[in-house]
Every structure is written in C-alpha cells, then in structure tokens.
Amino acid sequence: MFATAVPGLAPLAARALAELPGTAVHGTGFDGRSDIVVFDGDRGALGTGLTEDVFVEVGRTLRADGDNAARIARRIWRPERVEKALSVWAALVRPLSAALTFRVVARVLQERSFVRTELRRQLTEAVHRDRPRWRFADPAQVEVWIVEYAPGRLLAGLRLSDATMRQHDGRPVERNGALRPTVAAAMVRLAGPPAGALLDPCCGSGTILAEARALGWTPVHGRDIDPGAVAAARANAPDAEVQVADARKLDLPDGAVAAAVANLPFGRQYAVQGSPEVWLRAVLGELARVTRPGGRVVLLAPQVPRPVVPHPLRLRERYPIRLLGLKTTIWEYDRFVQDR
C-alpha cells in the first residue's frame, strides 16, 4: 500500500502507521506535491487521520528499466497483479462490476524523457486494454494513481480513500483559514496519548478540537477572540467546551490542561493584535501557565523566535511542513517544571 501526506508530515504519518498492528513501513518519499509513505498493511491504514489518501498498490517500476511512458505503463499495469489489488479495492470501496468508470492521475518529478500527461495517456490505454468495458470519467469510481515518489522510482495504485472522509475537510461549518484535518491530527498526536484536558487557545472553526476528541482527549477546551469562530467551532466540535476569550489572558487556572495545541493566527488569513513578537510572548506565557508540568504545547507557526519562548517550555522537536505551498513549522514543546 502507499499513502499521500502533507509535505513534511511523512515522518509523523509513518510513525502513526507503524503503530498499527500488522503494519510495516518500508519508506517515505515525495512526488512533487505530496509526501508518500510506502507500507504493508490493511484497512486500518485508512484510519490514522494523518494521511490524505491511501492506495492499494498495483505495481512499481524504475525509470532505469526503460524510461519511456508506454513501457512504464506496461510494466506497472500487469493484469495478474492488478487482479489482486482490485480484490482489495472491491472489499473496501465497492463491489467490482465489468463496467466501472475510471481515471488516471500521474505525478512525476521531472519531464525530460516524457511529459506527465503522456504517462497519464499511456496508463489510461494500458487500463483500457486490460478492462475494455471500463469507461473514462471524472470524477470516477476507480482512481488509478501513478507517482514518482523518489527520483526514478514509480508506484501505481488504486485509491481506497474517498472524498467524504474526514481528512478531506468534511467539516459541517467551513471557515476561511481552517487547518487541514490531517495536520490537526498530527499536532494532537504530538501532544502525546490522551491525558485529560486539551486546550486550543485560537481554535478558529475547531479542527484541532474535533481531532482531539476523535483521538480520545476529554475534556477539550476551545477559545477564540472571534465570536464567529466560536460559533463554527461549536458546530464542528459539539463535544468541546468553547468560549470567546483572548489567548493573551486565558480564563483557566494554572496547570488546568495536560496539553495545548494551536494553529496560531499568522499568514495571509489572520493578523495578530499589535506586534507579533509581543503577541506571541504573551500567548506562550499563558500556555506555559495553564499547561501542567509534564504536559505538552504544540504550535503551528512559521516562526517562534527563541527569546519569546518562556523558560518552562523546552523545544522537543520541530517539523517543517508546507501548507498551500507556504513553508511553516509544527513546534513541539515539553512543559517543564520550572527551576526555582
């Protein structure tokens, strides 16, 4: 099998997959748009929350074995191997019938020997030769993807995940600037196993709150300065306790939560009140105060300058990722017991 993930999330997605019983991760890559995780597993892989799409592999090949679109398509779509992948697809997606609709998605890392659309055309023909009654359509029932996940290495598979799944933004109320659910899930996992209360002090439409509930955190607290965001978060995460509040002056007692997880308001969609550094220093101070010693603080922000991080927060790890083509970073802090 293989799965796509937000660029930069492959190590975290691989870790989540490897924790599933019976799953072994073989490697990670990047196809020019998404990270790719290659693994052996079963339907459980659809449920980590960290991957965008999951595929059952039909074949793999190397450019080194003949760097020509038609030959790659023939090598990768071998009817006897496809049969096995289709039985997995049929068990998880829909029963097989002679007349299905299909489309091909192709991603390559370079176009020196042939262009991407030529590979797509050749693979479409290879599928047609094998399944003459399948019809091309967009959207289609069967999606065949071919991805060059590392230079010269190609994988093809049938998509098992579908557009209605949680990782594809299935929020009841949509709001500009909402976080990708897979990034929210990755951030909540970095907060550790559920250990009591979790807070998102800038919760927007509640994506982090919903992922925290799904992963077993309870209670889940959301705060946002914007009443419209609070209304959206209440609709999207009905089990969370959400209030209008300023993250610079939280209404929670010291040590009230085991973890704080937030997608901070920087970037094109949201500005902070006043100087970003002063704002960040105030918010991080509050997060250090309300998070109990031994807890975690996980933030998404392009920059967190060291001088604004209060003493009890110690950087554990940072994960650079790309969202909508922009570089940003997940920052994972331990809330230490402050030395006196």
Site for ligand SAM, rule CB under 6 A: 175, 177-179, 201-202, 204-205, 207-208, 223-226, 229, 246-248, 263, 265, 270, 272-273
Least Å distance, CB 269 to ligand SAM, is 6
| Nearer of residues 140 and 165 to ligand SAM, judged by Cβ | 165
The Cβ-side half-sphere exposure at 311, using a 13 Å CA radius, reads 4
Least Å distance, CB 184 to ligand SAM, is 7
Least Å distance, CB 287 to ligand SAM, is 11
| Nearer of residues 156 and 229 to ligand SAM, judged by Cβ | 229
Confirm if 77 and 117 have CB atoms less than 8 A apart. no
Confirm if 291 and 335 have CB atoms less than 8 A apart. yes
Length of the chain measured in residues:
340
How far is the first Cα of the chain from the last one, in angstroms, to the nearest whole number? 52
Least Å distance, CB 70 to ligand SAM, is 44
The rounded distance, in Å, linking the Cα atoms of 200 and 261 is 5
| Nearer of residues 114 and 270 to ligand SAM, judged by Cβ | 270
The rounded distance, in Å, linking the Cα atoms of 88 and 2 is 13
Label each residue of 69-122 as H, E or C: HHHHHHHHCCHHHHHHHHHHHHHHCCCCCCCCEEEEEEECCCCCCCCHHHHHHH
Least Å distance, CB 260 to ligand SAM, is 12
Least Å distance, CB 226 to ligand SAM, is 4
| Nearer of residues 54 and 272 to ligand SAM, judged by Cβ | 272
In DSSP terms, 321 is beta-bridged to 328
| Nearer of residues 37 and 242 to ligand SAM, judged by Cβ | 242
The Cβ-side half-sphere exposure at 230, using a 13 Å CA radius, reads 13
Least Å distance, CB 331 to ligand SAM, is 15
| Nearer of residues 265 and 285 to ligand SAM, judged by Cβ | 265
User: Looking at residue 246, what DSSP letter applies?
Assistant: B
Instruction: Determine the residue with CB nearest ligand SAM.
Output: 204
| Nearer of residues 7 and 204 to ligand SAM, judged by Cβ | 204
Label each residue of 288-331 as H, E or C: HHHEEEEEEEEEEECCCCHHHCCCCEEEEEEEEEEECCEEEEEE
| Nearer of residues 113 and 243 to ligand SAM, judged by Cβ | 243
The residue type of 164 is T
Least Å distance, CB 203 to ligand SAM, is 6
Residue with tokens 């993930």: 5
Closest CA to 203 of 253, 261, 254: 261
